[in-house]
Structure 1
Amino acid sequence: MPGAEPSTTDLARAGHSYRTADIPVSGGALRVGIWDPDPAVADAPDVLLIHGVTSSHLAWPFVVDGLPGVRAIAPDLRGRGASNTLEGPAGMSAHAADLAAALDALGIERAVVVGHSMGAFVAVVLAHRYPERVSRLVLVDGGLPLDVPAGLSTDELVAGILGPTAARLSMRFADPGEYIEFWRRHPAFRADWTPELEQYLAYDLVDDGHGALRPATSYDTTADDTRDMNTGGALPAALAGLQHPVRMVTAPRGLQDEPPGLYAPEHLARVLAAHPEIAHERLEGLNHYTIVMSPAGADIVAAVVREELARA
């Protein structure tokens, strides 16, 4: 379990209470964070929020702030956060099956699905494999093929896409404070440090079994998912069979706050040309993290989600 799990009171937002559920899935239990409207709203609409490759459900509080009257369901994907002990392989199809099980357990028939980074790839596969569970898709800086050369090894893929983010997974820390100080030097958050970010970072830590703390996501899990979303068959099949309305928003800066971001404009234009049904918007002034993990980015993403809820 994470080394510094906040209380339900700590994670309540204005207009939302917070709770968690542990959903039985293949290999164990999937932790799901749930923000319910507070006060309660009859027949509140549901939004499923899917985080990125080394993230957790605590990436979403600022987006939740922009969704009054909405029930927000956000899992820790298998291998991350409080789901990091789930046994069995990961991959886009396994994540999709876990999310369908979570919707079943929570009594949710259909939801607007929002995915960030790797979560956007999972969202596309979820919509393909369980089309009746998804009403509309919002892809946040992810979900369409990345510009990676063919023939790379898994380690080369991970290094090329994630860079220092992958290296962090092998590091060890004495306490949450040391981990937070490590992140304070990260260029992505120079102007966007918040108490919510500190909660997110502290939650990411687990005991390494030798008296130190490590990030909850293992390198092996990250490698498996990175390989699958870039070279596996689930994503191409899902994109070929796309049948839901899709909105995509991207950031012009990447994981290290560097241009041109995860999707260079020329590559993205080519990919979008192959999928003219996808509506795209580039959100200036944001990077791959702050597009959801800062008030400014989350306000824009939440506005897009509200529009999609109104259309659902």
Structure 2
Amino acid sequence: MPLTQLAGLAVRTWGDVSPEQPTVVALHGLTSTSAVWADLAARLPTVPVVAPDLPGRGGSVDVPVAPGLAGLAGAVVRAVDALGLRRVVVVGHSMGAFLAPLVVQQLGERVVAVVLLDGGVPPERSVLLRPLVVRALFTLQMRRTVRTWPDVDAYTRVAEGGAAAHRPDLHAGFHAWSEAVLEPHAGGFRPRLDVRRLVADAVDTLGRPAHLPELRATAAPVHLIAAARGADDTRPAFLSDGAIAAGQEVLPGLTWERAQANHATVLFEPATASVVTDLLSR
């Protein structure tokens, strides 16, 4: 699905969008682009999906917005306004799930459901989540990632990080994600990622208080799909049962389920489409 320009953002759209029809607005993670939502869109043939490349990534790499998640949220809301959407399901993955409450807050009654994929709820406290530590870790990671790669496969192996080591059926999907973020550069390929923006967004996402309380004001149902494993199948879940229980104390109406996937492969889980369909049928 090609990118188009909408309210200053590069956006992918699946299906026929109209103001009155329920539409999924999908928010990707920190180093991803809108391409990660292709599988969800394929599982929702009757529900349009609109997914922006968030500022600092992919087709929106050079789009300037205000700092932090608040700046990203403003850009998303402007795109929704440009389409005139009146019934929106906000779906966010990872950083996109932490961004979702700010988008929901601004869209108000237009939001009919919210689905959070392995994010949005604060993880258990850790020294690794202190702002200075997050900044240092992600600066190092971005320096390793945002450089010239000889081919798409080389970048994909690093970007995937072993997430699909036991899922060869998903390799083509990860390869497509890489193709969407890369551009030709110096005889190879370089990811279209703004390092400064990504590091700042990582700090705002993981090193600052989460925006889950903002969802208390919405009448829309909020459902979390938490992955059973972390960055790959050898690591513990990003969101423990204890973290989710604490999240439910903040947002008592939050419902959730555990998907047998990791933080990246949860994007291929059919549960997301099932939840969206179920919430729209209520």
Taking structure 1 as reference, are residues 237 and 182 closer, same or farther at Cα in structure 2, changes over 3 Å only?
Answer: closer
Letter in 2 for 1:290: T
Q: Distance in 1 between matches of 2:244 and 2:140?
A: 24
Would you say how many aligned residue pairs link Structure 1 and Structure 2?
Answer: 280
Q: CA RMSD in A?
A: 2.9
Deviation at 1:107, TM superposition (A): 2.2
Deviation at 1:95, TM superposition (A): 1.4
Q: Which residue of 2 aligns with 1:260?
A: 236
Q: Which residue of 1 aligns with 2:266?
A: 291
Deviation at 1:42, TM superposition (A): 11
Deviation at 1:241, TM superposition (A): 4.0
Q: Distance in 1 between matches of 2:237 and 2:209?
A: 25
Letter in 1 for 2:116: L
Q: Distance in 1 between matches of 2:111 and 2:89?
A: 6
Deviation at 1:78, TM superposition (A): 0.7
Q: Which residue of 1 aligns with 2:3?
A: 20
Deviation at 1:128, TM superposition (A): 1.5
Deviation at 1:262, TM superposition (A): 1.1
Q: What stretches of structure 2 of length at least 5 have no aligned partner?
A: none
Letter in 2 for 1:309: L
Deviation at 1:223, TM superposition (A): 1.6
Q: Is the 8 A contact 1:136 1:308 kept in 2?
A: yes
Query: Which SS does the other structure have where 1:73 is aligned?
Result: strand
Q: Which residue of 1 aligns with 2:61?
A: 84
Write 1 or 2 for the structure with the bigger share of helix: 2
Taking structure 1 as reference, are residues 255 and 163 closer, same or farther at Cα in structure 2, changes over 3 Å only?
Answer: farther
Q: Distance in 2 between matches of 1:206 and 1:174?
A: 12
Q: Identity over aligned residues, as a percent?
A: 30
TM-score, L = length of structure 2:
0.87
Q: Is the 8 A contact 2:98 2:210 kept in 1?
A: no
Q: Distance in 2 between matches of 1:261 and 1:76?
A: 26
Q: Does 1:307 align with 2:278?
A: yes
Letter in 2 for 1:21: T
Q: Which of 202, 226, 230 is equivalent to 1:250?
A: 226
Q: What stretches of structure 1 of length at least 5 have no aligned partner?
A: 1-10, 12-18
Q: Distance in 1 between matches of 2:123 and 2:135?
A: 12
Q: Which residue of 1 aligns with 2:154?
A: 178
Cα deviation code 1:192-242 (max 9, x no counterpart): 43433222111111356x655332223321221122223446726524545
Q: Does 1:221 align with 2:197?
A: yes
Q: Is the 8 A contact 1:78 1:90 kept in 2?
A: no
Taking structure 1 as reference, are residues 274 and 177 closer, same or farther at Cα in structure 2, changes over 3 Å only?
Answer: closer
Deviation at 1:54, TM superposition (A): 0.6
Residue range with higher mean Cα deviation, 175-184 or 140-149:
175-184
